[in-house]
A and B are shown apart, each in its own frame.
Chain A
């Protein structure tokens, strides 16, 4: 009988498969999980406390019965509602546009051969490495010259948008002339996203079977039909990757929004800008700030949940 079996007998438990190294490993892992989740937990707890409760308890401790309130969330939702709708109006089209255009470009750059192709690919790759800051001034100059509202006037009167939201009543989205700047922002983000989405799609399209695409051509399909009926349906996992990536990028962007939306805040402000309104002036209201952060982060979370399994496939490179 070994020592371990002795101990097991005395304790009356089965120690078969017990491994001290495993205990240490799991202990460390649990510690790491706690470490990484603590800011999130503290944030959530803070958002559920009254200001008085927040002042008297450590941030990570759950609120007491007296100190519990959902008010920070309602304040945050009230303040951010229209900004979040603005952000959705920005992020959804900009994400879809950059993913779709990236996919087009990658198809043309990968599955066809033409002169000067490599030079164009190089330009696309170079585009990824241009920092946002480097283009701020040209960008603001550009949108100062281009009057989107007037340009679009014949096809779209963008001051007329208003949206009925069940809980919040009528949200006047576009009665402000600055609303046109959301369109500017969509175009900017779409353009800025194309290099990275193109590169992602390109690496994916390189792995598509050449023989399969040739078979489709021999079957009578035109280049565009091959894209629509073969390449596009096979790109779903990569679309999940680019959609999630671009949505997160665009949703969380502050720099372009600050530069392109002239008034800084106001009716056309996006969520990242509007968050600033929750700081509470001289006395910092941490609970509403935290609630605001959660509200503003919710859409990205939803996108991850919706496309998560496809995302995993795309990252793993499965077709």
Chain B
């Protein structure tokens, strides 16, 4: 068992003579037993990265190492990895048993009986032992998904690679499999790289998440770190649902201004933005408070445009009276009607500031007011 290292890995494709950069100088070390989620919008290079680790794509520049072993020049079969594909990629003419045996038959010298007992053991663990005699075509999507997982697990590889394995399942099954997959990975302790575009999966499953955009690694951090301390505007906007609200502001000394409102800054924030003329102010919807009157600082009169009730909470789309809209989430029991005038409080300690041109975070929200999840020690 060893760490998986991506060392300045790049991938270029040749598109009729012009060079297309799919992955640009990505470096990350995935620790032994870690669950890393690669997340990003479609076309960001996350699948290409995974395929380079698998050996299905060549590495244009840089190295991939497992421990101290360089593996980017080895063929896929010698890399000791197992991959779960989005389409499951089961062999349709083989039974479930045949599908799960295949890898062991091809990559090891194990005796038939040994293979069979391993397959049966794994099938039992996944609850598919009664399906061993069936063909993939006779299974439901969820069952096929389990077989695909079983096929990877039974090989006991150094690294699991998963390419959006849950995206073909319906919503309910997906959340169920999400938990199960996480539990499995914890039990097996196998280093896992998991690709998804679904930020819920990214937030809930990974030990760490790596956010990619346009082939560039934006941030590698724990899910909460990425959520509360995003490295840049892209990460801030990508993680979280509904997305963070952004306002393009001009810096005037200790205040920020745009066409609709002005925002006064604390001395600390003023320091952070001192070098920039234009900044982006970001605020998460749940940090926007709807208050009764507009007398306090950082409180603005707004009109409710649309309310999206979700049961547990309401997403309230607010309007400064012109085109600039932003979202606030309030408790599900709170009644807000479209057309109503409300006062939105944008607390200073929850505000993120980003450089308008580079997008880099200048100041992230303060975490002092965030409650710790750890329970109080019992007296």
Contact = CB atoms under 8 A, between A and B. Distances in A.
Interface of A: 209, 211-212, 214-222, 225, 229-230, 233-234, 319
B87 A218 contact: no
Chain B interface residue bracket vs A:
20 to 34
Given A220-B77, A230-B91, A319-B92, A215 B85 contact: yes
Given A214-B83, A218-B82, A220-B108, 8 more contacts: A215-B83, A215-B90, A215-B91, A216-B91, A218-B83, A219-B103, A222-B77, A234-B92
24 contacts: A209-B87, A211-B85, A212-B87, A212-B89, A212-B90, A212-B91, A214-B56, A214-B76, A215-B83, A215-B151, A217-B56, A218-B77, A219-B77, A219-B102, A219-B103, A219-B106, A219-B107, A220-B108, A222-B77, A225-B106, A230-B93, A234-B92, A234-B93, A319-B92
Contacts of B108: 220
A220 B107 CA distance: 5
B155 interface: yes
B210 interface: no
Contacts of B76: 214, 217-218
A217 B89 contact: no
Contacts of A319: 92
Interface in B69-113: 76-77, 81-83, 85-87, 89-93, 102-103, 106-108
Contacts of A230: 91, 93
Contacts of A218: 54-56, 76-77, 81-83, 103
A211 B89 contact: yes
A218 B81 CA distance: 7
A258 to B, nearest CB: 43
A38 to B, nearest CB: 44
Interface in B262-300: none
Nearest to A210: B89
Contact of B89 (A214, A222, A233): A214
Contacts of B107: 219-220
B106 A211 contact: no
B143 to A, nearest CB: 17
Contacts of B86: 211
A215 B92 contact: no
A217 B77 contact: yes
A18 B82 CA distance: 64
Contacts of B55: 218
A220 B103 contact: yes
Nearest to B161: A218
Nearest to A225: B106
A216 B87 contact: no
A310 B379 CA distance: 76
Please provide the 7 A-B residue pairs with the shortest distance between their CB atoms, ordered closest to farther. Answer: A220-B107, A219-B103, A220-B106, A211-B89, A215-B89, A212-B89, A211-B85
